[in-house]
Amino acid sequence: MDARLIVYALLLAAPLLILVRRRMNPLYRIPAVGHSDPFLSYWSALKFFVNAREMLQEGYSKYRGSVFRVPLLDRWVVVVSGAAMNEQLRKYPDDQMSFIDAAEELVQAKYTIAKQVHENPMHIPVIRGPFTKNLAALMPDVADEVASAVRDAIPDTGDEWVGVVAFPAMTRVVCRASNRVFIGLPLCRNPEYIDIVLGYTKDVAKGRFIMTITPILLKPLVGRLLPWSANALKKFSALVKPIVDESFRQFEHHGKQWEDKPKNLLTWLTEEAKATGNGPEIVVSALLSSNFVAIHTSSISVTHALYHLAACPEFAAPLREEIEGAIRRHGWGKQAISEMWKLDSFMRESQRFNGTSGVSVIRKAVVDVRLADGTVIPAGTLVGAAADATHWDEDNYDDAAVFSPFRFSDMRADEGERVKHQFVSTSPEYVPFGHGKHACPGRFFAGNELKTVIAHLVLNYDMKFDGDGARPPNRWFAAAVLPNLDAKVYFRKRQAASA
């Protein structure tokens, strides 16, 4: 046959094949927000980058009780719509809807984090287990570090107001407070260590972007060449490995009888590594990964809450009264924090109102999954819940678009509602920490830590925004929800302040 004819036949057959494949793929039977066509969907994917909130809300309103899909540059994500669907999603077992596979796909963890941690994420059981069980013992150190880090972040100007760019300041406070109980003094205050930890989120993001645009066949090759995370891990290891080695040596020296071992994440990771026949390297990687999951989410969350306080200084008085009362009764610590219902409610409302992501409860279909309404989600598809739309749904919350700081503490006044409305309690209507078996295991620590930061600020400072005093709007980058990153909060040391 004429070679030209073969080329023409192939050119004609290729789009036909694509069309047939699309017709047979159940993914394309799920309604799309934006364009579904092969080329125009890229335009919608770009639009999603700047208009994710509106697109997710559009899908949620149109397809509530079912599902819709939104385009990313390299794939479609199916979004379940409404509280009942969130509940359905979280109930699927891991061999049908996998959290680990979804996280791997979203972050390309095997290439952008560390292969070892991807294959053995041992920080997860350690955070869920001994780290969380020992929170009461950890909190005095967290409080001490918060006080010290806040002193360093907010210049002392006597009784004058001083403006501080809040997000980077809060990020450093959270980084120091978390690492005080991840690895301890003096490293948690070491500027080089802090810079590596804080830069790591960007290192992973750069690698992830490259992997997103790399064709599947080339991923193993390109993945191995990505420099950023590997360099960060090398620098992190140079600082951390000697301390981890020492922890291993101490365990060998004391054996199981080591009664007064340091209470921190490093110790429990070492214990876990030894119990599972692993060496110090995996502990180093697990420490960096723990920072990756903890610091960014917590810094964003505490900044969101701080912005509500600065925009509405009248919220401070009832919080102060409650915090001072609890400290008078118990001294500072986990017991006092657990009695601060208004503060707990304030933080929970901030998570509901803002959150860190418009999509939560992320899973990957490992097999073809048929939902209760008959929709088939083909194997390999990423699925998530429309978190922001759920949280702003009037059926779930009265006056959902109003920031109502004490709505949850008011609900807790009813004896039967005590547990349901706490900061850490997830539900189909409340998914900032995900929901179900894989709900964030760090949320118990995060709750105590973030409340410690806000309590410290409320007790020691008056806070406000300059100008018209309004809270700067949040910024969305695709589904990520960020507070304004450059806004200044003005602080004035209170005369009656304790520290």
For ligand HEM, the binding residues (CB under 6 A) are 99, 123-124, 127, 290, 293-294, 297-298, 301, 356, 360-362, 432-436, 438-443, 445-446
Q: Which is nearer to ligand HEM, 33 or 103 (CB)?
A: 103
Cβ closest to ligand HEM, residue 82 vs residue 432: 432
Q: How far is the CB of 28 from ligand HEM (least distance, A)?
A: 26
Q: State the burial class of residue 242 (Cβ atoms within 10 Å of its Cβ: 0-12, 13-18, 19+).
A: exposed
Nearer Cβ to ligand HEM (59/441): 441
Whichever of 443 and 471 has its CB closer to ligand HEM, that residue is 443
Q: Which stretch of DSSP H or E encloses residue 266?
A: helix 265-275
How far, in Å, CA of 457 to CA of 492, rounded?
A: 10
C-alpha span between 295 and 288 (Å, rounded): 11
Residues near 450 by Cβ (< 8 Å), separated by ≥ 6? 174, 298, 301, 302, 305, 347
Shortest Å, Cβ 50 to ligand HEM: 22
| Cα dihedral 212→214→219→222 (10° resolution) | -110
> CB 289 → ligand HEM: shortest distance, Å?
8
Q: Which of 469, 460, 461, 462 is nearest to 488 (CA)?
A: 469
Q: Which residues contact residue 104 at a Cβ distance below 8 angstroms, ignoring those fewer than 6 apart?
A: 110, 118
- In the complex with ligand HEM, the residue whose CB is nearer, 105 or 462, is 105
Helix (H, G, I), strand (E, B), or coil: what is residue 260?
coil
Tokens at 15, concatenated:
């789009």
Q: Are 383 and 105 in contact (CB under 8 A)?
A: no
In 27-131 the beta strands, taken as DSSP E runs, fall at 67-71, 76-80, 97-98
Helix (H/G/I), strand (E/B), else coil: 468? coil
CB 396 within 8 A of CB 390: yes
336 and 451 Cβ atoms separated by less than 8 Å? no
Nearest 10 degrees: Cα torsion 72, 46, 50, 175: 50
Kindly tell me which of 32 and 283 has the beta carbon lying closer to ligand HEM.
283
State the nearest-atom distance from the C-beta of 255 to ligand HEM, in Å. 28
Toward ligand HEM, which CB reaches closer, 301 or 409? 301
Name the minimum Å distance from CB 147 to ligand HEM. 19
Backbone angles phi, psi at 207, to 5 degrees: -60, -40
H or E element that contains 55: helix 40-62
φ/ψ (deg, to 5) at 167: -65, -50
Give yes or no for a contact between 427 and 420, defined as CB atoms under 8 angstroms apart.
yes
Residue type, 157: T
Residue 188 is labelled as binding a ligand: no
| Residue with Cβ nearer ligand HEM (26 or 129) | 129
CA distance to 117, 390, 429, per residue, from 432 (Å): 24, 10, 10
Closest approach of ligand HEM to the CB of residue 450, in Å = 6
Which lies closer to ligand HEM via its Cβ, residue 273 or residue 446? 446
Residue 151, Cβ neighbours under 10 Å: how many? 12
**Residue 32 or 293 having the CB closest to ligand HEM:** 293
Helix (H, G, I), strand (E, B) or coil at 79: strand
For residue 470, the minimal CB distance to ligand HEM (Å) is: 24
Q: Is 315 in contact with 409 (CB distance < 8 Å)?
A: no
Q: Is 43 helix (H, G, I), strand (E, B) or coil?
A: helix
Smallest distance from ligand HEM to CB 178, Å: 6
Cα 51 to Cα 41: distance, rounded to the nearest angstrom: 14
Q: Nearest approach, Cβ of 447 to ligand HEM (angstroms)?
A: 8
Closer of 59 and 442 to ligand HEM (Cβ) = 442
Element (H, E) at 119: helix 115-119
Binding-site residues for heme sit at 440
Binding-site residues sit at 440
